[in-house]
Each structure stands twice: as C-alpha cells, then as structure tokens.
Amino acid sequence: MRLGKDLLDKPIYSITDGRFVGKVKDLYLDSNLERIIGLYLGSEGIFSRKDLLVNRDRITLFGIDAVLAADSDVVLDITQAPDIDSWVRRQDLAGRDVNTSGGTRVGVISDIIVNDEGAVLGFKLGRTFVEGPITRKQAVAREVVVDTGGAKGVMTIDLAQAEQHNLSME
C-alpha cells in the first residue's frame, strides 16, 4: 500500500521496447473513487495544447521506481478518453472535507491510499477534527465511505466503521 503522491513524477516505460512514454503528473480515479483509471501526463504543444493520459488498462505494473506500460503507443489525447467527464483527478480530492452522516467534520483529505494494482484502499487525512482512532490512523478506508460527494462535494463516512477499520499509514 502506498500514497497516490508516491506515483507522481515516476517515469513510464514501454515493456515492449523500453521506450520512455512520459512522466506521471497526476492520477485519474473512477467516479466512485474505487480505482485508478488513468495516468495524467500533463500538457504538450504551444498553440494547440493537448492534455495527455494513459488509460489504466494499458499499465502492466506500478513499480517502485517506474511505471511499466503495455507498449509505447499508449498515450492518448484526453479528448479521446471515454467518460473523462466522470473521472476525478487526485489533486481535486486534496482539501476535500470528510464528514459523518450527521454532519460532524472528521477531517480533510490530503491523498489517496492505493495498492499495487491501482485500487483505492482509502484516504489519507491531512488534518483531523475528532479525537480517537481516526486521529491516530490519519486515514479512512474506502469501504467506510457512504457518499463520495460527487465531483467536488463533501465526502461522508460511517464513523463507527471507520474507527474500527485497521487501515493506517503508520
């Protein structure tokens, strides 16, 4: 398990010919915040800027030092990505409030926690506003999320489940 920020600035190489494909600038998640769905590579071009990405299904390995892609022809213009409007960028989650169903402010998301396959296991909290296990863990598991909050809303969690879950970044 690792933080999403640990994948940033990692080079992407093709496993077929070892060619450098690009560097990870950010991550795209599905609308349910359950998995990485794409890797954002940034923009290129002077007059007609293009945002570039690699779909997650074209990635074979999230390594410690690099990301490996299926081949060197994996980069897409972001306009070619299906359902891009429903995807959520990792950077857009930073600073998002996490509340209980009753409206108690629990904390603020600072990052995502992912496994080696790109599944979102939980959310790292940068600040917490409650006492107890959540403050010690500084994280909440994905499975305790009741409502993701949509594109830019407040995330809602089940506090009782969150306090009993063993997800921790210690």
* Domain over 91-164 is classified CATH 2.40.40.20: no
Tokens 């992912």 -> residue? 114
For domain 2-89, give the CATH number.
2.30.30.240
Query: In the chain, what are the domain boundaries?
Result: 2-89, 91-164
Is the pLDDT confidence value at 170 over 80? Answer: no
Q: Provide DSSP, 51-91.
A: EEEEEGGGEEEE-SS-EEESSS--EEEGGGSTTGGG-EEHH
Q: What is the pTM of this model?
A: 0.89
Is the pLDDT confidence value at 158 over 80? Answer: yes
Is the pLDDT confidence value at 167 over 80? Answer: no
d(CA 14, CA 87): 25
Task: Determine the straight-line distance between the first and last CA of the chain, rounded to whole angstroms.
Answer: 11
Confidence of residue 48 (pLDDT cuts 50, 70, 90): low
Fold match between domain 2-89 and domain 91-164: yes
pLDDT in tens, 125-139: 999 998 888 888 899
In terms of pLDDT, which residue wins out, 50 or 57? 57
Q: Is 145 helix (H, G, I), strand (E, B) or coil?
A: strand
DSSP state of 132: S
Are residues 59 and 66 in contact, defined by beta-carbon separation less than 8 angstroms?
no
